[in-house]
A and B are shown apart, each in its own frame.
Chain A
Amino acid sequence: MNVSTSRNFKANAAEQLANETLRGALEKSKGHFTGGRATAAANLPEFEALRDEARDLKNHAIEHLDFYLEAYEEKVLESGGHVHWARTAEDARNIVLEICRSVNAKAVNKGKSMIAEECNINEMLEENGIRPVETDLGEYIIQLRGETPSHIIAPAVHLTKGQVEESFRENHTHLDPDRVLEEPPTLLDEARTVLREKYFQAEVGITGANLLIAETGSSIIVTNEGNGDLSQLIPKVHIVLASIEKVVPTLEDAATILRVLARSATGQEFSSYTTLSTGPKRADDPDGPEQYHVILLDNGRSDMLGTEFQDMLRCIRCGACMNHCPVYQSVGGHAYGWVYPGPMGSVLTPGLIGVDEAGHLPNASSFCGRCEEVCPVRIPLPKLMRHWREQEFEKHLSPGAARVGLGLWAFVAKRPKLYQLMTGLQMRLLGRMGRKRGRLSSVPLAGGWTKYRDLPAPEGRTFQSRWKSGERPA
């Protein structure tokens, strides 16, 4: 399912831009997330200081990652759990399959996990005759539709309630076809009822992890629905899929991350459920899983350490960058063509699957800087995208026309006299062309740009010539 189509970003984006349903869905979500975050940040005077602290403690953990991973593993083992190390997505798939087979699993309940998406766990399970059941409402909806998540915390943000209704009618064929199913509450009730039965059928529950705690060997998941908790408490085996950079030293460090996570993500002060899990159920516990497995996935992350992209490993997957990104909000998550969309995906994806595959993504930015402004761990996302652009250019991966254009621009930009002459001529020409309407609906060589909007016609001289003649802002 998650074969990358990042290479086709431009075509993907063009297709999504023409999708009116997507427009409507994204329009509805936009203010919800950005407004929520702004309010939550304003309600906590310490928010900016917490962001600094979160950045610093993640940096510390990453710089001593090998130490904290081993400390964490030791504690998991002490608590009776198992730790599996996976170098690649394939390793992770094999480990999951082996565990499922060891208990003859027929069905697996899944809490929302981006690492599971990265590793194509569902596809692998299906190929091996094991039924994966997504229990997060958004994930369940897209599983029914055979789609992938378009957002890291709101996987079905690209869909309208009408599309959800359509999928439920198509799949829940045991229910009365004449039932009323229009509004979100009735859709939720139906999903709750259908999924409730499934919780009790699975032998294995898979969740992700927002954090791993070296101090105690605990994994933490943060959810609003409670599906992750039912998924891990009812089956007899709990598998945690986590990437290596999720480990932090102490519970206190986890508290700092948790204080910025929900506020940045949904604007909540704290998510409904934050759950610490440590090992399998104790001998006298009346419920909980008999086995607890953690799979620690590298899959390219250790290669990002020590490079200019190390900062990206601080990411806590809140989704604030995509919620605030004008490009994501226009093209939606699927255009990015792989698991991680938006600005964080534009930086992470080339790191994980290669710049030759995903080199278009870092170009999908106007460098407005909103992503960096709202990132709870202050990842300099625009700067990192620029690094990828440089690499793309150096590797001669960017298209010929762009390279020739950049070369011409550089030639002119290095010669100020020529630059001023040319821009001055251009202004006059464009100004004359657009004199009547004050704007231009097509410009030679810029057809792609003017296809979606008009170019305002220049009104007078260039900035540089006005500055030179002594003009200053009032």
Chain B
Amino acid sequence: MSKDQVLSSVRRSLGRAGPVDDDMAAKLRAGIAGHARNIVPARTDLDDAGLVDLFQEMAEKVFATVTRVSDMSEVPGAVGDYLRSENLPSQIVMAPDETLDAAPWDDNALLEIRRGAPVEADQVSVTSAPVAVAETGTLAMFSGPDHPATLNFMPETHVVVLPAGRVVKSYEDVFDAVRAQMIDPESGRDGLPPRTVNFVTGPSRSGDIEQTLLLGAHGPRRLHIVIVEDGAPTAGDEQQDG
């Protein structure tokens, strides 16, 4: 068997006749289970408002656009304004998630909304983000029935609704949110993380032609983030002190 051949070659080269001994195995397993944090940059030692500001600053640096609204009731208007200002169509494919349910979409009669996964013809997607990282202006998206992962990549324009309370410091905070979801009996995931966790930092880009920076290589050309100041926090947030 190839597996045995590879493993025994590894062990032979490392000077061992067999697997690591029981004590070492227990120690390594404990290391995995403990998943201790390594160095986390100090730039995120900020209060909540400071984190949201840093998130916005970092996201804008990588060519995302950001607007802020005071609560969910203003979201449909903000989305409509953005699409109009960019001359984009008002047909939207939207994630079927609860955060977005809380916005009064019917108030904005101009938007044509379909909920679910995108098809090739869709030009604009709207999703929320369960968590976002201030350190580098990064959104984190978890695939699932309420968030088809293709919404993050297929349409040319991706609008993300982000309640301000979901901005965390670091990737490590996102991993804790993933783990919280894994042990949540209601997630129905059987101890598994979401199939796909997408960290998204700005729109799609490429430098493959003479190192010229171009946006919209395969994924979205535009990434627009609507920060909702009075938004509901994510379920993972209780985990994030520490």
Contacts and interface: CB of A to CB of B under 8 A. Distances in A.
Interface of A: 25, 28-29, 32-33, 44-46, 49-50, 53, 57, 63-71, 78-79, 84-87, 91, 135-138, 141, 154-157, 159-161, 164, 184-185, 187-188, 191-192, 195-196, 200, 214-216, 218, 224-227, 229-230, 233-234, 244, 249-253, 255-256, 258-259, 266, 268-282, 284-288, 296, 298, 302-307
A218 B144 CA distance: 16
B42 A46 contact: yes
Contacts of B218: 135, 137, 192, 195-196, 225-227, 230
Given A67-B19, A188-B206, A296-B6, 15 more contacts: A45-B42, A53-B38, A57-B38, A66-B10, A67-B20, A135-B218, A215-B32, A225-B206, A229-B198, A251-B172, A252-B172, A284-B144, A285-B145, A286-B145, A287-B150
30 contacts: A29-B210, A32-B207, A57-B38, A65-B10, A70-B19, A85-B2, A137-B218, A154-B208, A154-B211, A185-B214, A192-B217, A196-B218, A200-B120, A215-B32, A224-B217, A256-B39, A270-B199, A272-B200, A272-B203, A272-B205, A277-B195, A278-B193, A278-B196, A278-B197, A281-B195, A282-B192, A284-B145, A286-B117, A287-B143, A302-B12
A229 B219 contact: yes
A46 B45 CA distance: 14
B174 to A, nearest CB: 9
A305 B13 contact: yes
B217 A225 contact: yes
B153 A287 contact: no
Contacts of B41: 44-46, 259
Contacts of B208: 136-138, 141, 154-156
A205 B136 CA distance: 29
B15 interface: yes
A253 B16 CA distance: 25
Interface string B203-242: 1111111111010111110000000000000000000000
A307 B219 contact: no
A258 B136 CA distance: 12
A226 B13 contact: no
Nearest to A224: B205
B11 interface: yes
A286 B31 CA distance: 35
Contacts of B138: 270, 274
A224 B206 contact: yes
B14 interface: yes
Contact of A306 (B13, B149, B171, B192): B13
A457 B9 CA distance: 55
B28 A230 contact: no
A63 B14 contact: yes
Contacts of B172: 251-252, 255
A161 B6 CA distance: 44
Interface of B: 1-3, 5-7, 9-16, 19-20, 24-25, 28-29, 31-32, 35-39, 41-43, 58, 61-62, 116-117, 120, 136, 138, 143-145, 148-150, 152-154, 170-172, 175, 178, 188-189, 191-212, 214, 216-220
A255 B38 contact: yes
Given A188-B216, A230-B154, A244-B10, A86 B204 contact: no
A287 B38 contact: no
Contacts of A155: 208
Contact of A286 (B32, B42, B148): B148
A253 B38 contact: yes
Top 6 closest pairs, chain A to chain B, by CB: A226-B219, A138-B208, A225-B217, A305-B13, A306-B13, A302-B9
Nearest to B138: A270
Nearest to A218: B193
A64 B20 contact: yes
Given A230-B219, A251-B35, A273-B219, A188 B9 contact: no
Most B C-beta atoms less than 10 A away, residue of A49, A164, A215: A215
A250 B15 contact: no
Given A85-B3, A87-B6, A266-B207, A67 B116 contact: no
Contact of B195 (A225, A256, A285): A285
A281 B117 CA distance: 14
B60 to A, nearest CB: 13
Nearest to A292: B195
B2 A86 contact: yes
